[in-house]
Structure 1
Amino acid sequence: MKKGLAKVTAIGLCVSMLISLAGCSGGGGSATTDKAAEKAAEAVTDKNIQSEAEGTQEPIELTYWYWEDEQGTIENMLKDKWEAYAGDRIKVNFESVPSSSFHDKLITAISTGTGPDVFICKPMWAPELYGMGGLMNMEDVFEGWEYADEVDDFMLEQMRAGLDKLYLYPRTTIVMYLYCRKSMFEKAGIDYPKTVDEFFDACEKLTVDTDG
């Protein structure tokens, strides 16, 4: 496997497209994940493989860490996209790490120089990782990305985590909590939603046409 400059450059682009939001790891993915994965592969292969690895057929090898809750979702979805676009030019090794020990293992790996090239993390970890030299400034890379305007400014601020530049990239957003007004459900005679489908069904039942 080819490593070195070509790999380091690819890491920068790859991180900007694949890094996670807030460690939110529900069972499903999102359109953000889907598009980011595909365009990350394009960015790395087009801008880096051709320029830095020109003249060699050796693939670039990257290691991607994610916590176990997303096993089967992250790897299956991203792996297919990388392989479909990059073919043999990029090899991504997906490694599942238990969520309970993910932070400590990541810190240890980075401090010993054995950390992954790409990983999901919570924004609150950013200052610590930055202080260790474990993050790359992705501001310029992001600004040059053709889909940058589709990312909400609020999400980007969350990713900056109080730092001066963009070191993380939002991958997925999920709803952590949902509050219901008890009186509205009681008046409509419906139960509180326990699933997403029940939530949308309740929204329809609670919608009132104020114009008659």
Structure 2
Amino acid sequence: MNQTMNRALKAGLVSVLSAGLLAACGGEAKPGEGKPGQNADKPFAGQKLSIVTANHPWGDAIKELLPQFEASTGMKVDVQSFFEDQLAQKLTVQLTAASETPDVFMMSPLQQARMFVKNDWIAPLDDYLKKDAAYDFNDFSKASVSSNTVNGKLYGIPIITEQHILYYRKDLLEKAGIPVPKTIDELLAAAKKLHDPKNELYGFAARGQRSPLVSQISSFIYSEGGDFMNGDKATVNTPEAIKGMTTYATLLKDFGPPGVLNMSWPQAIGVFAQGKAAFFADANSLFKNTTDPEKSKVADKVGFASFPAGKEGSKPFNVTSWSLAMNAKSKKKDAAWAFIQWATSKETVTATQKKGNPGARMSVWDSPEGITAFPKELAEVTKETQKGGVDHSVPSVDKVSEARDIIGAVVQKAITGEDIKAAAEQANKEFQALIDKERGK
């Protein structure tokens, strides 16, 4: 494995050098960048690269592999990790100040990419991709790439993906003679049949908090043929969107556990892991909370299925939750790309995915080595979902948090018995106003 990774790394570095760095060999090197052409085996000797990651298992996995990268390139890599909120705050402060560091950082593209691009904080990566055919960028799932594309340009390389799937209790379905739901109507019927609140068993558990639930209703909306917006037009009040939100609200209102309005994913998955829900719908990346015996009372009874189909088929979100981005003000862009290229190579993705980090390279999902950290059924569902799905789980606007609050209120009102159509009309007006303001209308 190490020899393979070394060969891939050196091949990539040769490409980076031949395409850009060797042009500087005849002149003086920039301060702090050394003269890479003078030492082909250690092309970035003397450089120090600044990397910022979230406190995430991927960051832990990549830190274990860094000594090999440093030995092959001659550069030193300083990695700092922060909790998600702290990371967002740190990046905003440093990038607003036009800081040259960090050179590379983890970015949540659906939450941050549009704003970062608008502020010229991150560099487009398209030209780097043209320099090395062996990197095989076509190996990344189309949806994961699309999640990182803004205005036709690529601003991040996917490192962690998420797909919306259905978790279910194998034992309960088998005992009741219920097949795994393949459609949303079948899910509604199964949740109703298994719902037994007197014995603390609920048909369905999922997020009910106003902002967190928005990503979860997305797949219900998409599968009915709707979306949050169409171009610059808000579409929360369309029949398709209302149908999707109504289904979700019904599942939680009629078959959900008590207190759903206060549940984000930790609380909802906790209900399922405690054996108190027949179904749970959320991202596949959360699976260890249901299969780890230390966290789950039903660890050996959990099944995984593709998101059920609506009128337009099964259209779950299939997104990049984390990607690597390059600081537009970095003075070490070639070195930064060398790191990104290595960290997202087939060999490195295989190594990080073996630690349970779901990546975006289809070839890794096709390899036996790439799926060892995942239950067989989950790996099959993930691999199939990676082939399609929708590239966003939240509205494609700069102020994602504000949009989520507006749209999430519709479902919460429906759960409490209010008129969902009236709520959707009001939300659509508010959402349209937000879009218009952002677009300068």
Give the TM-score category using the shorter length: 0.5 to 0.7
Q: Considering Cα pairs closer than 8 Å and 6+ residues apart, tell me whether 1 or 2 has the greater RCO.
A: 1
Show the counterpart of 1:163.
151
The aligned counterpart of 2:91 is 106
- Partner of 1:129, secondary structure, is helix
Query: Structure 1 residues 95 and 75 mapped into 2: Cα distance closer, same or farther (>3 Å)?
Result: same
Q: In the alignment, which residue of structure 2 is the partner of 1:143?
A: 130
**Which of residues 58, 81, 92 is equivalent to 1:96?**
81
Which of these residues, 180, 184, 192, is aligned with residue 302 of structure 2? 192
State how 1:11-30 maps to structure 2 within 5 Å.
none
Q: Offset at 1:133?
A: 1.3
TM-score normalised by the chain length of structure 2? 0.32
Q: Specify the SS of the correspondent of 1:173.
A: strand
Q: CA 1:62–1:155 in 2, change beyond 3 Å: closer, same or farther? A: same
Residue type at the aligned position of 1:100: D
Alpha-carbon distance in 2 for matches of 1:39, 1:175 = 33
CA radius of gyration, larger in = 2
Structure 1 residues 91, 99: CA separation in 2 closer, same or farther (over 3 Å shift)? same
Structure 1 residue corresponding to 2:48, chosen from 31, 48, 61: 61
- Supply the RMSD in Å over aligned alpha carbons: 3.8
Give the whole-Å Cα distance in 1 for the aligned partners of 2:104 and 2:157. 11
Long gaps (5+) in structure 1: 1-33, 204-212
- C-alpha distance in structure 2 between counterparts of 1:176 and 1:80, whole Å: 35
Counterpart CA distance in 2 for 1:134 and 1:151 is 24
Identify the residue that residue 83 of structure 1 maps to in structure 2: 70
1:166-181 equivalences under 5 Å are 166-175=154-163, 177-180=165-168
The one-letter code matched in structure 2 to 1:191 is K
Paired position in structure 1 for 2:317? none
Note the residue ranges of structure 2 that are not aligned, 5 or more in a row.
25-34, 179-299, 305-372, 382-441
Q: Could you tell me how far apart the structure 1 residues matched to 2:301 and 2:38 are?
A: 64
Q: Percent identity, aligned pairs only?
A: 18
| C-alpha displacement of 1:41 | 5.9
How many residues align? The count is 165
Q: Letter of the aligned partner of 2:107 in structure 1?
A: C
Shift of 1:129: 0.8
- TM-score normalised by the chain length of structure 1: 0.61
Change (3 A) 1:197 1:91: same
Instruction: For 1:154 and 1:120, locate their aligned partners in 2 and report how far apart those are by CA, in whole Å.
Output: 18
Equivalent residue letter for 1:142: L
Return the structure number with greater strand share: 2
Q: Secondary structure at the match of 1:180?
A: strand
**2:146 match: secondary structure:** helix
In structure 2, the residue matched to 1:26 is none
Partner of 2:103: 117
Asked if 1 retains the 8 angstrom alpha-carbon contact of 2:167 and 2:303, the reply is no
Shift, 1:155, TM fit: 1.7
